[in-house]
Amino acid sequence: MQTEPQNGNRNVPLNILVFSASLRKDSFNTQLAKLARTLIEKNGAKVDFASMSEFDCPSMNQDSEKNNGYPKGAEEFRKRMLANDAFIISSPEYNGSMPGLIKNAIDWVSRFRPQPFNERHALLMSASPSMGGGNKALWSLRMPLEHLGARVFPDMFSLATAHKAFTQEGKIADETLAKRFEDNVVAFMNLVEAAKHYPCIKKAWVEFLGEKPDPVTERVE
Ligand SMILES: Cc1cc2nc3c(=O)[nH]c(=O)nc-3n(C[C@H](O)[C@H](O)[C@H](O)COP(=O)(O)O)c2cc1C
């Protein structure tokens, strides 16, 4: 059993891309993403905080892809994915699903080779004024991300009644919920850290998924 990190120094901090999939100025999801940033930094990692406006793309059109290449938003999204160890999306729920703009951006980025979502760790969260907290958006968001090979963290966090859930300082007012949120973020960070510094965990992860840890059978695209 390996006891020392095989992939660089364990003390090198993690880099995590965090963004909200809302373009709205007073977005609750942006508030939640900012809170995730604060907690990640408090727990020793670096955050690359992005705005959805940087990743927004015109509607996917294969003719446009063929004739004009990738839109700027897709280039930027891909660049920031590759520059970080993991990503966190805080997404609104629109009509029981994810907003079209985030699916559209994922569709564009999925066209790059190598395909940037493959083997990247992801944590999903949502906020909504509703009682469901936008949780259905996250189940729908898992689908394309997992299809693309992203390692989507099992626990997801949804903040219900978001219009009255935050304190003036931007924290979650309910103490139990605030602790649950931090625990969720820290558990995700622990997994990403293990995957970054202990490549043996990859074998364990693949075995957990029921696949043979064989380079030939590993998903490449
Ligand atoms: C087109 C549309 C559909 C919506 N559908 C839902 C929904 O299915 N479930 C829900 O909880 N909220 C729904 N909402 C309300 C959003 O949760 C709310 O507007 C929220 O503030 C959006 O996230 P944001 O504050 O981060 O922009 C919808 C809003 C819009 C604009």
Give the DSSP letter string of 22-33: ---TT-HHHHHH
Report DSSP letters for 170-217, one per residue. SSBSSHHHHHHHHHHHHHHHHHHHHHHH-THHHHHHHHHTT----TTT
Q: Which of 52, 95, 124, 125 to mutate to test the pocket of ligand 1 (most atoms within 8 A of CB)?
A: 95
Residue ranges around ligand 1 (CB below 6 Å): 22, 24, 27-29, 92-96, 127-130, 132, 134
Q: How many CB atoms lie within 10 A of CB 80?
A: 18
For ligand 1, what atom is nearest to the CA of residue 134?
A: 11
pLDDT value of position 216: 59
For ligand 1, what atom is nearest to the CA of residue 23?
A: 27
Q: What is the mean pLDDT of each run of 10 residues along the chain (221 residues)?
A: 45 92 98 98 97 98 97 98 98 98 98 96 98 98 97 98 97 98 97 84 62 57 43
Asked if 121 and 154 touch (Cβ cutoff 8 Å), the reply is no
For ligand 1, what atom is nearest to the CA of residue 26?
A: 25
For ligand 1, what atom is nearest to the CA of residue 132?
A: 11
pLDDT value of position 12: 81
Q: Hey, is 40 helix, strand or coil? A: helix
Nearest CA to ligand 1 atom 25: 27
Gap between the Cα atoms of 182 and 42, Å rounded? 10
pLDDT value of position 200: 66
Distance 92 CA to ligand 1 centre (A): 6
Q: Which of 52, 94, 135 to mutate to test the pocket of ligand 1 (most atoms within 8 A of CB)?
A: 94
pLDDT value of position 197: 85
Asked if 128 and 93 touch (Cβ cutoff 8 Å), the reply is yes
pLDDT value of position 172: 98
pLDDT value of position 69: 97
Q: What are phi and psi of 169, to 5 degrees?
A: -85, 0
Asked if 93 and 132 touch (Cβ cutoff 8 Å), the reply is yes
Distance 99 CA to ligand 1 centre (A): 9
Distances (CA, A) of 22 to 6, 91, 100, 160, 213: 38, 7, 11, 16, 38
For ligand 1, what atom is nearest to the CA of residue 163?
A: 21
> What is the residue whose two structure tokens read 């395909």?
115
Gap between the Cα atoms of 26 and 184, Å rounded? 24
